[in-house]
Structure 1
């Protein structure tokens, strides 16, 4: 029943986004994904990641058949595109197989088998559709928010030492090596999340059920709720507001060479194309949840999660997409959502409620401070810089302590150790 309600809610949300995008003369997430059944996909790796998530509910024989069918369909599409001289993109086959699993579940499966197959296919489609829905959200932010608050954020960022300008100069000095590596990490974050999700869901086919909580759930909810904050606090980022990427709309072309000169912060007009997608940094939020969930995996996964987290934060700053205060807000936002999702899955208690309330309060305080106290923050960096980090660290520490209690509560009880023969305890 819960899965059905979630499915209906998600479908209604996607339909609403479709109508909103159509109102601005652009296709929405449903139309884009429908086109990718035939036309060249935007992201082949993302589509195959969705297929991989779907296959967690299949047996090994069924997985081989599904993978073979996807590759075979893609080969046919590539041959046709090669023959007509079109771009050789791939991924159609993966989408065809996921949709085929939905049709198979509805027409050839019943009961628990149908429900499990629909859950797997729905998870794969959600990963793909969530990405498309995010693109539509970004279009809406650029069309409905004619002014941006970058002068407030860049002023507040002085409290942290303007890390985007510092890291931006480092990346420029080490380009093209750093640019290629960081660009790959930044662009394939959904694929990394799918890999960690696959590790967490590797026993679904054997146990015939999904775990109560896993990374993909939090990943999707962050992508759903984050753009709503964009509407409240529209920011385009230093490379656009103060760099060459902003073109004629940029307040100055100084990033990352020198800091802009700003008097009293005020909203500035910006174009109707650039997304207002900085506050909070959702890439930081996603990388944070990736780090959190990878800690529960193998040693290789823990190191990979840490690398992806550090590289993502470096890319967000080094490419000029975010200010330092965006990242602080992103970490708090991620841990608050993660706490809420764990509580919903494992059961709410006082510690979970306090953690969500703590994270929500700190996140609100950060946004209010960036908007109404930026000049004070810039004038007293020795006070506000450590204070920002202290607020974020408090949420991190609270989360760590709470998750330890969750693990101790949900850990299976150990079997009593067998006593060697002849050493049975005497009856009291």
Structure 2
């Protein structure tokens, strides 16, 4: 029933986003975008990543069949478009096959599987499709933010960022001086965050096929919940980022004609009374909080119990993501602080739910929510005070972040130490009499 309810809620949410995108943004929603990719060239996205997640429930023989079928279907589509003279944008040639195979497995589950085997296969298909559809939902939601929020609050965030020393301006100059090699590496890390998440998730789910069940908690759950809850704050706190609001813009959107001033990254903005400013109807308002930072934090957390190589990779991805978000001018420093707090709170909420609403977990979720709310309210209503008293406001912001990190570590370590042994089993008196006085004592069960 829980999985059925989740499926109904997810479908209702997708329909809602579809309606809102069409009505308020004049854009296609996630359902339309995903349906088109059954035939049309797919946009770059984690289609094969979704297929890889789905295949964790399959045997090795079934995996080879599924992957081979996806590649064969893609080859047919590529040859058909080539024969028809259809021009395909770069990077959009492959992916239809992965989507067809995932949908085919869903049909196969209903037609040829029953009971737990059907449920397991449908869970795998749902996991893969959620990753793919989540990307489409995000694209539709970003279009909604740009159309429904004509003004942005970047001047408030820029003033609050004075408390942290305007790190985006500092790191932006460092990245600019690092040359093309460093910039290309950071662009790769920033753009392929979903690939890193899929790699970590595949490691965590590697035993699903053998054990015929999913682990209680894994990265995909946190990743999806962050992506579900985070964009709501884009509507409450619309921010485009320093490269757009205080620079020339990027990726062909925005531009100096919409900027408050052309300052980034060489000149920090002066301390002046902030106010909402109008911005174009194209650039997404997707800065507060930094979900790239939140997702990278989740990846870091979920690699801590992996092998050394995975732990190093998780650390590298987090550090490189932080540098990229600041160095390319996509985020302010205070965005990143909010993103880390948001990620830790979301992660703990899921873990607390798994433990049956553990009291210590609920306390942390309450504290994390309070800190996150206080940060956003401070950025909006105390930004001028934060800029004028940066030597007080900056340490307070960092102290709030440190309190959340400390609380998360303390709670998870407490849970790790809460190992309660089973009580020692004793024989009933009649069993003792039957065994006789010389019988060996019954061994105590192993501790968990």
Normalized against structure 1, the TM-score is what?
A: 0.94
Q: Which residue in the other structure is 2:7 paired with?
A: 7
| Cα offset, 1:3, TM superposition | 0.9
Q: Please, which of 323, 326, 341 is the counterpart of residue 350 of structure 2?
A: 341
- 1:322-333 counterparts in 2 under 5 A? 322-333=331-342
Q: Which residue in the other structure is 2:99 paired with?
A: 95
Q: How many residue pairs align between the two structures?
A: 419
1:359 aligned onto 2:368: yes
- 1:332-411 counterparts in 2 under 5 A? 332-409=341-418
Q: Secondary structure at the match of 1:175?
A: helix
| Cα offset, 1:347, TM superposition | 2.3
Residues 185, 312 of structure 1: 8 Å contact kept: yes
| Cα offset, 1:142, TM superposition | 1.1
Q: Please, which of 141, 144, 151 is the counterpart of residue 148 of structure 2?
A: 144
1:108 aligned onto 2:117: no
Residues 233, 288 of structure 2: 8 Å contact kept: yes
Q: Please, which of 309, 320, 330 is the counterpart of residue 329 of structure 2?
A: 320
* Distance in structure 2 (CA, Å) of the matches to 1:350 and 1:81: 58
| Cα offset, 1:388, TM superposition | 0.8
Residues 167, 333 of structure 2: 8 Å contact kept: yes
Residues 57, 116 of structure 1: 8 Å contact kept: yes
Output one character per residue of 1:261-317: Cα deviation in whole Å (capped at 9) or x when no partner.
352111111111111100000000000010000101111100000000001111100
* Distance in structure 1 (CA, Å) of the matches to 2:306 and 2:421: 18
Q: Which residue in the other structure is 1:255 paired with?
A: 264
| Higher share in helix | 1
* Distance in structure 2 (CA, Å) of the matches to 1:216 and 1:409: 26
Residues 271, 388 of structure 2: 8 Å contact kept: no
1:180 aligned onto 2:184: yes
Q: Which residue in the other structure is 1:29 paired with?
A: 30
| Cα offset, 1:86, TM superposition | 2.1
Residues 222, 282 of structure 1: 8 Å contact kept: yes
Q: Which residue in the other structure is 1:19 paired with?
A: 19
| Cα offset, 1:20, TM superposition | 1.1
Q: Which residue in the other structure is 1:227 paired with?
A: 231
Q: Which residue in the other structure is 2:167 paired with?
A: 163
Larger Rg: 2
* Distance in structure 1 (CA, Å) of the matches to 2:187 and 2:130: 24
Q: Which residue in the other structure is 2:59 paired with?
A: 59
| Cα offset, 1:410, TM superposition | 6.7
CA RMSD of aligned residues (A): 2.1
| Cα offset, 1:85, TM superposition | 5.1
| Cα offset, 1:365, TM superposition | 0.7
* Distance in structure 1 (CA, Å) of the matches to 2:374 and 2:141: 25
Output one character per residue of 1:47-83: Cα deviation in whole Å (capped at 9) or x when no partner.
0110011001101110111111111111222222333
1:126 aligned onto 2:135: no
Residues 271, 387 of structure 2: 8 Å contact kept: no
| Cα offset, 1:391, TM superposition | 0.5
* Distance in structure 2 (CA, Å) of the matches to 1:166 and 1:67: 45
| Cα offset, 1:206, TM superposition | 1.1
1:82 aligned onto 2:82: yes
Q: Secondary structure at the match of 1:54?
A: helix
| Cα offset, 1:344, TM superposition | 1.1
Residues 148, 234 of structure 1: 8 Å contact kept: yes
Output one character per residue of 1:192-224: Cα deviation in whole Å (capped at 9) or x when no partner.
111111111111111111111111001001001
Q: Secondary structure at the match of 2:399?
A: helix
* Distance in structure 1 (CA, Å) of the matches to 2:419 and 2:367: 23
* Distance in structure 2 (CA, Å) of the matches to 1:406 and 1:15: 39
Runs (4+) of structure 1 exceeding 6 A deviation are: 410-413
Q: Secondary structure at the match of 1:210?
A: coil
Q: Secondary structure at the match of 1:142?
A: helix
Output one character per residue of 1:310-338: Cα deviation in whole Å (capped at 9) or x when no partner.
01111100110000000000000000000
Q: Secondary structure at the match of 1:249?
A: coil
Residues 212, 346 of structure 1: 8 Å contact kept: no
Q: Which residue in the other structure is 1:284 paired with?
A: 293
